[in-house]
A and B are shown apart, each in its own frame.
Chain A
């Protein structure tokens, strides 16, 4: 059994004539936190979306926990997986979005139980118990009956994290989870993520929070114009960048 959770080799993706990912290599080990940084439009979201097959990559190899995303290798051929299998794969990968995307018509508790009940087939009582445990973990026990509109951005994002965790994912993807938040609310979300990292969750985090990356990440990848321009340990990548592009990027975000 390998200890690699995500493996990307030469992943490409184009939207029409626009080549967004131009052969991307990346490796994430189990239990590690990887931060993905880079300028806007460099393809960070696109890459995350390829990992859980919200987008289909054009070429290259993309494996999660040893399994090819969206395809199955048999007799030296790649067979496209059925919609059902792809849904099953996705259920094992949690995703947290910049704009929270909580289900607006469901209250907090229902947001966290719906996936367990409808996708995993957990019974209602067990799903609710797990939801309450997760709400306690993100510090929102008292909000289970609230609707998303009644919560602050930080609270919504914490519910979104609980919703993803309810599926018991082996990998969590965060796409700029704090970029839509008021500055004073960023901390509470980063705290939850820090906790999660400490508990051994494998995470890929797209972020502009360099402090968080330095403190929590095991490795940092700098994505620019569809390729990984530089990668390594946070101290090295963020403290002593070699590429001039990364240097100019860091001078802008810091």
Chain B
């Protein structure tokens, strides 16, 4: 037998191995998912026992009124309720400001942690230890109660009694501000660890090179280290933003009517608890979906220079798949092209 292919053998068709087990598993899963979707969008007899009766040919027949298992019609009617809309807007604002505080402060804490100054590393270590070590719910309640501990905040001589600026804590720390402060300071503790991992992931040679062309430490940080650290920082930060979006619901407990607070308030008066929770879920899911898509593109931007070729975007991949399918189809049926 010859090991080289003859003229005829070179054009032989390749038959891929069929993975029957894999195919079976996929089918079972598909049926399961289909059943689940069916129950979610199915109708059941009215839970209040409502019946509808008609008279046909002088005989009265009654049957229970059917309604959506998940009360989708109620969900639909409250989806754009003004109270829900205001709550959603407030949720987005709290998320934004808390993340802004968390990222800015977290970056400072990470840099302090990496500095050569023992006092700085000590302070940043303590900060992370404290804020990561206590429940964020309690921290929110604590900031809400701050005016009880510090009725006025003053700016003046340290430890002295003279001050030129007095602020009344009650007016400054409204529930909203207290909530944002608590979430932001808590986030800073987590983000500082993410930022630290990013900063130390950048090769020391990059710092040497930047220094050798005369960049100051601050320029080196802004123009060389941070842009490269972003590649490591972005994915877990996307996680943090999504997590924050949902954690904001905790500030409902101190009377801020954000999304969860809003649906709570409505269901407290009409007792349609489940559909209103679904209203909130729909909005949370929509927001996290948009954030995930945004994260994909931000990650892609900061990955430039780290891979020889950029991975395709989902749209490019879809186009590629369709193209490949087209070629396969054309190849399988050469008759068509004739």
Question: Which residues of A approach B to under 8 Å, CB–CB?
Answer: 52, 54, 83-84, 87-88, 90-95, 97, 99-107, 114-115, 118-120, 147-150, 160, 163-164, 167
Take A54-B208, A103-B206, A149-B305 as given contacts and tell me if A118 and B219 are in contact as well, using a CB distance cutoff of 8 Å: yes
CA distance A88 to B205 in the complex (A): 20
B211 within 8 A of A: yes
The reply to whether A97 and B208 form a contact with Cβ atoms under 8 Å apart is: yes
10 pairs, CB–CB < 8 Å, chain A vs chain B: A54-B211, A94-B213, A103-B228, A104-B203, A105-B228, A105-B304, A115-B214, A115-B215, A120-B214, A167-B213
Take A97-B208, A103-B224 as given contacts and tell me if A118 and B308 are in contact as well, using a CB distance cutoff of 8 Å: no
B267 within 8 A of A: no
Residue of A nearest to B202 (CB): A104
Interface residue from B217, B305, B308 paired with A104 (Cβ < 8 Å): B305
Sample of 11 further A-B pairs with CB below 8 A, known A54-B212, A102-B209:
A83-B216, A87-B216, A91-B213, A95-B208, A101-B203, A101-B209, A104-B203, A106-B305, A115-B215, A119-B213, A147-B304
Which residues between 92 and 147 of chain B lie within 8 Å of chain A, taking CB atoms? none
Smallest Cβ distance from B125 to chain A, in angstroms? 24
| A interface footprint on B300-338 (CB within 8 Å = 1, 0 otherwise) | 001011111000000000000000000000000000000
Interface residue from A92, A104, A119, A147 paired with B215 (Cβ < 8 Å): A119
Take A97-B205, A104-B228 as given contacts and tell me if A148 and B214 are in contact as well, using a CB distance cutoff of 8 Å: no
Closest 4 CB pairs of A and B: A91-B214, A115-B213, A101-B209, A101-B205
Residue of A nearest to B228 (CB): A105
B167 within 8 A of A: no
B210 within 8 A of A: yes
B227 within 8 A of A: yes
Residue of B nearest to A91 (CB): B214
CA distance A52 to B210 in the complex (A): 12
The reply to whether B208 and A164 form a contact with Cβ atoms under 8 Å apart is: no
The reply to whether B213 and A150 form a contact with Cβ atoms under 8 Å apart is: no
The reply to whether A105 and B305 form a contact with Cβ atoms under 8 Å apart is: yes
The reply to whether A163 and B228 form a contact with Cβ atoms under 8 Å apart is: no
Q: Which residues of chain A are near B203, meaning CB under 8 Å?
A: 101, 104
CA distance A160 to B208 in the complex (A): 13
CA distance A119 to B306 in the complex (A): 25
Take A105-B304, A149-B305, A149-B307 as given contacts and tell me if A87 and B214 are in contact as well, using a CB distance cutoff of 8 Å: yes
The reply to whether B216 and A84 form a contact with Cβ atoms under 8 Å apart is: yes
Residue of B nearest to A102 (CB): B209
- Name, among B209, B307, B308, the residue most crowded by chain A CB atoms within 10 Å (CB to CB): B209
How many of B's residues come within 8 Å of A, CB to CB? 24
CA distance A149 to B303 in the complex (A): 12
B223 within 8 A of A: yes
Q: Which residues of chain A are near B205, meaning CB under 8 Å?
A: 97, 99-101
CA distance A135 to B23 in the complex (A): 55
Which residues between 206 and 256 of chain B lie within 8 Å of chain A, taking CB atoms? 206, 208-217, 219, 223-224, 227-228
The reply to whether A105 and B209 form a contact with Cβ atoms under 8 Å apart is: no
| A interface footprint on B192-207 (CB within 8 Å = 1, 0 otherwise) | 0000000000010110
Smallest Cβ distance from A181 to chain B, in angstroms? 16
Residue of B nearest to A92 (CB): B214
Take A83-B217, A101-B205, A105-B227 as given contacts and tell me if A148 and B305 are in contact as well, using a CB distance cutoff of 8 Å: yes
CA distance A118 to B209 in the complex (A): 14
Smallest Cβ distance from B220 to chain A, in angstroms? 10
CA distance A147 to B228 in the complex (A): 13
The reply to whether B227 and A88 form a contact with Cβ atoms under 8 Å apart is: no
Q: Which residues of chain B are near A88, meaning CB under 8 Å?
A: 214
CA distance A104 to B205 in the complex (A): 11
CA distance A216 to B205 in the complex (A): 28
Q: Which residues of chain A are near B212, meaning CB under 8 Å?
A: 52, 54, 90, 93-95, 164
Smallest Cβ distance from B209 to chain A, in angstroms? 4
CA distance A54 to B236 in the complex (A): 34
Smallest Cβ distance from A56 to chain B, in angstroms? 13
Residue of B nearest to A95 (CB): B212
Q: Which residues of chain B are near A150, meaning CB under 8 Å?
A: 308
Smallest Cβ distance from A86 to chain B, in angstroms? 9
Q: Which residues of chain A are near B308, meaning CB under 8 Å?
A: 149-150
Q: Which residues of chain A are near B228, meaning CB under 8 Å?
A: 103-105
CA distance A158 to B302 in the complex (A): 25
CA distance A250 to B159 in the complex (A): 70
The reply to whether B206 and A104 form a contact with Cβ atoms under 8 Å apart is: yes
Interface residue from B214, B227, B305 paired with A147 (Cβ < 8 Å): B305
Residue of A nearest to B218 (CB): A83
CA distance A84 to B132 in the complex (A): 38
The reply to whether B216 and A101 form a contact with Cβ atoms under 8 Å apart is: no
Q: Which residues of chain B are near A54, meaning CB under 8 Å?
A: 208, 211-212
Take A83-B216, A101-B206, A104-B228 as given contacts and tell me if A90 and B304 are in contact as well, using a CB distance cutoff of 8 Å: no
